[in-house]
Amino acid sequence: MTSMRTILLATSLILLALPASADWKKVRIGDREYAALDDIAATFGMERAKPRKDKREIGFVGKAHQLVIKTGTREAIVDGVRHWLSFPVETQGKRPFVSMIDVNSTIGPAMSPASIKAVKPVKTIVFDPGHGGHDRGARSSYGVEKDYTLDVVKRTRRILESRKIKVVQSRLSDFFASLNERPAMVANYDDPVFVSIHFNAASWRPSANGTEIYVLPPFGCPVAGKDPVARLDNRESDGDAVLPASFVFANTMHHTILGKTGSFDRGVKRARFAVLRHCSVPAILIECGFLTNAAEAKSIHNPTWRETYAEAIADGIEAYMALANERKLPPRIWDYGRKSTDEFVWED
């Protein structure tokens, strides 16, 4: 199997800078500014792909990038992995337009991570095993979330420390730490990033499966899958200032986990979880799989599965650190031999 270090060394160092916001040909639709999707694609060296079965879907391909959007929705597939935009893709005169917020906060950083100045050197990984103590989290017939999160973190820590990377944890055993205490501990360490580990549950939809990774939404924007709520969307968070780096971290991790584990792609999503809101350094929350899915719950209970997943998380962290510390572009899903995500899947 190709090692992470080999992939990183083979990754091109050619950087594609994003044009300044003022350089885009923008149009106003409602109360927001938009850019033509064809112009965005051209900036990243892409041309229109062959027509797709669903006429609402529009694909673009190039030597280095891929993009698929679905007009009238917030769904997008950027360089082979699923993303949720802040606002729907609009059309004017049959031309698709994407909000400048989504160009600057999702499409641009996903395709040009080395251009994001907020990505700073990293020395310490602060892990947060979700739940603990009286808070058991989600459960399956095999076990409870709080035990699985702690086990995955311990495995990932062992791997990272063997690679000489400093790791600390919000909890070392089965006790409860408050949602404010967990991200606050980053203040005690040099150049940290924060990684919260969880397992998912959807009792109303037992077929739900796969990996999703969360970061904060841009200020003033709704969370994934929800309509705008001004009272919440306009609330300032400690993580706002480092959101571009958090997104790049999440996207790098998502490509790596999908490529290394074969997990179903549920996307990089946006949410205002407390541990993300109150974290002043780049922060992500990984939902590793569904304890309410019978097959996935059985896999999660298998120590071999958890070891493989821990290795993928460790590789994702190492890929982000290589970008942050050495400006090496992170691998994408196809660098691991996995095909790009190519279908839009309705999810609640």
Whichever domain contains 31, its CATH number is 3.30.457.10
Domain assignment present for 346: no
* Predicted local confidence at residue 18, as pLDDT: 58
Q: Verify that 169 and 282 share a domain, yes or no.
A: yes
Share of the chain above pLDDT 70, in %: 93
* Predicted local confidence at residue 19, as pLDDT: 55
- Residue 347 pLDDT greater than 60, yes or no: no
Q: Verify that 271 and 199 share a domain, yes or no.
A: yes
- With 0-12 CB in 10 A as exposed, 13-18 as middle and 19+ as buried, what is 178? exposed
- Which residue has 């097959």 as its token pair? 295
Whichever domain contains 257, its CATH number is 3.40.630.40
Q: Verify that 196 and 256 share a domain, yes or no.
A: yes
User: pLDDT digits over 188-216, tens only?
Assistant: 999 999 999 999 999 999 999 999 999 99
pTM, two decimal places: 0.93
Q: Verify that 298 and 149 share a domain, yes or no.
A: yes
Q: How many residues does the chain have?
A: 348
Domain assignment present for 119: no
Domain assignment present for 5: no
Q: Verify that 103 and 137 share a domain, yes or no.
A: no
User: pLDDT digits over 68-82, tens only?
Assistant: 999 999 999 999 999
Q: Verify that 259 and 308 share a domain, yes or no.
A: yes
User: pLDDT digits over 310-332, tens only?
Assistant: 999 999 999 999 999 999 999 99
Domain assignment present for 13: no
Q: What is the mean pLDDT of residues 279-287?
A: 98
* Predicted local confidence at residue 25, as pLDDT: 84
Q: Verify that 94 and 233 share a domain, yes or no.
A: no
- With 0-12 CB in 10 A as exposed, 13-18 as middle and 19+ as buried, what is 174? middle
* Predicted local confidence at residue 196, as pLDDT: 98
User: pLDDT digits over 237-265, tens only?
Assistant: 999 999 999 999 999 999 999 999 999 99
Choose one of 88, 111, 134: the last residue of a domain.
111
CA dihedral 221, 257, 346, 83 (to 10 degrees): 30
Find, among 130, 146, 158, the residue nearest to 214 by Cα.
Answer: 130
Cβ proximity of 261 and 152 under 8 Å: no
Q: Which pair of tokens denotes residue 201? A: 């549950």
Q: Verify that 58 and 186 share a domain, yes or no.
A: no
Q: Verify that 178 and 253 share a domain, yes or no.
A: yes
Q: Verify that 230 and 320 share a domain, yes or no.
A: yes
CB-hemisphere CA count at 13 Å for 53?
3
Write the CA distances from 328 to 4, 130, 312, 331, integer angstroms.
12, 30, 18, 9
User: What letter would DSSP give residue 104?
Assistant: I
Q: Verify that 44 and 174 share a domain, yes or no.
A: no
Write the CA distances from 280 to 100, 242, 244, integer angstroms.
25, 7, 12
Q: Which domain holds residue 161?
A: 124-336
User: How many domains are contained in the chain?
Assistant: 2
Choose one of 111, 133, 156: the last residue of a domain.
111
Choose one of 54, 89, 111: the last residue of a domain.
111
H helix count then E strand count, the chain: 11, 15
Residue 293 has a CB neighbour count (10 Å cut-off) of 22
Q: Verify that 100 and 135 share a domain, yes or no.
A: no
User: pLDDT digits over 79-116, tens only?
Assistant: 999 999 999 999 998 899 999 999 999 999 999 999 99
Domain assignment present for 171: yes
Cβ proximity of 186 and 282 under 8 Å: no
Segment among 19-23, 143-147, 152-156, 319-323 with least mean pLDDT:
19-23
